[in-house]
């Protein structure tokens, strides 16, 4: 696995997958820029009249419920249904799962469509697994990644998805495999939308990499290592946001390999 990750990063740069995003107002610009910096090609589109066609021409779909409303949810369901019927990979980012019953009801409808990957912070993954737990503090996590492992295993079992719990340690779970990534920087929690960026990047990687577990690990390690390298030269969250985009664009194999901290 470790030896393949850089190869996957190069594949995304070379193949520049079109990634269809139905995502939130807060992060739309940032995640589009992160996808471009990593070599992918983003399209943000949520009109009900076009989402199915857009899924058909894209290599992957990202569904992010961050600023959901009734109209957007219909678009998300149409798009995810189309992805499922075309066997295209799609990722669900359950932003704020557990914060309100509306979010949880929408998420149960989306889960039925069996996302290829689910990526959330620990609180969101716990809430997603147990519909009635509402410990999420808005969009930020109040739990540690390892506290969400059992919840993630339930999701893997029930929906056949690969689950990624992000946080200080990113944990990727597929079947009996668990991969622990110990990269990143604490300052990353002070920039909004980096979880959404992680999900968007996973979208790019699952669009072109056959081994979906390796695709998720490659996307998460790319973001976390870029984040820690960027944090080392940032005065605070404002410049970190800019430096992360630059590092996604210019990270080298040497930098990536020197910093990768992966256990399985
Ligand atoms: N305490 C931390 N230390 C190091 N990296 C972190 C920490 N918290 C989050 N990250 C990194 O920030 C990115 C976004 O994850 P996270 O903050 O969990 O998502 P969300 O914004 O959805 O809550 C991931 O790449 C993760 O590895
Ligand atoms: C603050 C906020 N509110 C609704 S969506 C959103 C962005 C959340 O982004 P992330 O989960 O990546 O921090
Ligand atoms: Mg999030």
Q: What is the pLDDT of residue 90?
A: 98
Q: What is the pLDDT of residue 263?
A: 94
> What mean pLDDT do residues 125-146 have?
70
Banded model confidence at residue 131, pLDDT cuts 50, 70, 90: low
Q: What is the pLDDT of residue 143?
A: 74
How high does pLDDT run on average in the chain? 95
* Residues with C-beta less than 6 Å from any ligand 1 atom: 121, 140-141, 166-168, 170, 184-186, 188-189, 194-195, 198, 223-224, 227
ipTM of predicted assembly, 2 dp: 0.99
Banded model confidence at residue 91, pLDDT cuts 50, 70, 90: very high
- CA 211 to ligand 1 centroid distance, Å: 24
> What mean pLDDT do residues 63-74 have?
98
Query: Domain 2-263 sits in which CATH superfamily?
Result: Ribokinase (3.40.1190.20)
As a whole number of angstroms, the distance between CA 94 and CA 143 comes to 15
- 193 in a labelled binding site: yes
Q: What is the pLDDT of residue 184?
A: 98
Q: What is the pLDDT of residue 24?
A: 98
Q: Over the stretch 171-190, which tens digit does the pLDDT of each residue have?
A: 999 988 999 999 999 999 99
On the question of pLDDT at 204 being above 90, the answer is yes
Taking the CA of residue 169 as reference, the ligand 1 atom at the shortest distance is 27
- CA 100 to ligand 2 centroid distance, Å: 15
- CA 4 to ligand 3 centroid distance, Å: 27
- 44 in a labelled binding site: yes
Banded model confidence at residue 264, pLDDT cuts 50, 70, 90: confident
Q: What is the pLDDT of residue 68?
A: 98
Query: What percentage of the chain carries pLDDT values higher than 70?
Result: 97
* Residue 4 in contact with ligand 2 by CB distance below 6 A: no
* Closest residue CA from atom 10 of ligand 1: 167
- Radius of gyration of the CA atoms of the chain, in A: 17
Look up the pTM and report it. Answer: 0.96
- CA 223 to ligand 1 centroid distance, Å: 10
On the question of pLDDT at 55 being above 80, the answer is yes
* Residue 95 in contact with ligand 2 by CB distance below 6 A: yes
Query: What percentage of the chain carries pLDDT values higher than 90?
Result: 91
Q: DSSP per residue over the chain, as a string?
A: -HHHHHHHHHHHHHH--EEEEE--TTTHHHHHHHHHHTT-EEEE---TTTHHHHHHHSSEEEEE-TT--HHHHHHHHHHHHHHHHHT--EEEE-TTTTS-HHHHHHHHHHHTT--SEEEEEHHHHHHHHSTT----BTTB-SS-GGGGHHHHHHHHHHH--EEEEESSSEEEEETTEEEEE----GGGGGSTTHHHHHHHHHHHHHHH-SSHHHHHHHHHHHHHHHHHHHHTT-SSHHHHHHHHHHHHHH--HHHHHHH--EE-
Q: Where are the domains of the chain?
A: 2-263
- 166 in a labelled binding site: yes
């Amino acid at each position: 696995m470790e030896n393949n990750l850089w190869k996957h990063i190069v594949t995304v740069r070379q193949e520049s997958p079109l990634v269809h995003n139905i995502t939130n107002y807060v992060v739309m610009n940032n995640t589009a820029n992160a996808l471009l910096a990593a070599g992918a090609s983003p399209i943000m589109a949520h009109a009900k009249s076009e989402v199915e066609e857009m899924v058909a021409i894209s290599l992957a779909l990202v569904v992010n419920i961050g600023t959901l409303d009734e109209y957007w949810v219909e678009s998300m369901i149409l798009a995810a249904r189309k992805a499922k019927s075309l066997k295209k990979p799609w990722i669900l980012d359950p932003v704020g799962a557990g914060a309100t019953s509306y979010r949880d009801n929408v998420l149960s409808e989306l889960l039925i469509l069996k996302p290829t990957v689910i990526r959330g912070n620990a609180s969101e993954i716990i809430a997603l697994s147990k519909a009635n737990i509402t410990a999420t503090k808005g969009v930020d996590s109040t739990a540690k990644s390892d506290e969400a492992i059992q919840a993630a295993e339930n999701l893997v079992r029930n929906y056949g998805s690969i689950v990624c719990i992000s946080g200080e340690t990113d944990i990727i779970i597929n079947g009996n495999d668990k991969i622990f990534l110990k990269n990143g920087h604490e300052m990353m929690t002070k920039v909004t939308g980096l979880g959404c960026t992680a999900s968007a990047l996973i979208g790019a990687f699952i669009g072109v990499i056959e081994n979906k577990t390796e695709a998720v690990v490659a996307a998460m390690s790319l973001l976390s290592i870029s984040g820690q390298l960027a944090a080392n030269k940032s005065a605070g969250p404002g410049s970190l946001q800019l430096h992360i985009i630059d590092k996604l664009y210019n990270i080298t194999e040497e930098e990536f390999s020197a910093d990768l901290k992966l256990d399985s």
